[in-house]
Amino acid sequence: MAEILRIDPLHPPARVIAEAKRVIQAGGVIIYPTETLYGLGANPFDPAVMERLYAIKGRGAAKPIPFLIKDYEMLESLVAEVPPVAGELMEQYWPGPLTLIFKAKEGLPPALRGKDGTIGLRISSHPIAQGICAQLSAALTATSANRSGEEDLVDVKHIAAILGDRVDLIIDGGTVSGIGSTVIDLTVAPPRIVRQGVITISI
């Protein structure tokens, strides 16, 4: 069973963020809270780690997963272009529960580019997720902490019972909203709403 660190989600101790960073950089997988759901966090630039993450999730590698980033500078290092509408959406909803799908930059690992050459990104507003991203020099996987096709989980005790023996660290930040981020595909014109989540948007 993975170690479970219970903390105040609004004021995460620096030592917990540092431990999450250490585990990820050592090739581990963590479970951490966001403002939407608990996520499975790992380094997408490590193929072996990504293979393990997909196995934990029970998900085919051909299905892309979203990522968290720390800032706009990291965004520009991962995407081929930032269309004008993206700027408007980011200004209004980032940091927050909005995932935007961009055309991925050439040369990124397959796990980041996805089968169709796109990448889904957001900047989280959750102090724990934000703190971890700020400490890392790479994107952080943000697929939900549950088995593929099964219900979303918001209670750490339940998450630990299902995934606790398959990950390396669990950060317990209490109950999360249980509603996924809104997802918008910016690679098509006009942009397409893939999923209505926490934010209700009309395009």
Query: Are 162 and 2 within 8 A, CB to CB?
Result: no
Question: Which residue shows structure tokens 């620096």?
Answer: 14
Q: Which amino acid is at 192?
A: R
Is pLDDT of 179 > 90? Answer: yes
Q: Cα–Cα distance between 3 and 196 in angstroms, integer?
A: 34
By the 10 Å C-beta count (0-12 exposed, 13-18 middle, 19+ buried), 87 is classed as exposed
The band of 62, judged by pLDDT with boundaries at 50, 70 and 90, is: confident
Average pLDDT over residues 77-89: 96
The distance in angstroms from the start CA to the end CA of the chain is 45
For 17-39, the pLDDT digits (tens) are: 999 999 999 999 999 999 999 99
Give the chain's domains with CATH numbers.
Answer: 3-195 (3.90.870.10)
Average pLDDT over residues 79-105: 97
Average pLDDT over residues 49-55: 96
For 158-175, the pLDDT digits (tens) are: 999 999 999 999 999 999
Instruction: Map 102-149 to HEC letters.
Output: EEECCCCCHHHHCCCCEEEEECCCCHHHHHHHHHCCCCEECEECCCCC
Share of the chain above pLDDT 70, in %: 100
Q: What is the pLDDT of residue 82?
A: 96
Is pLDDT of 136 > 80? Answer: yes
Which has more pLDDT, 114 or 97?
Answer: 97
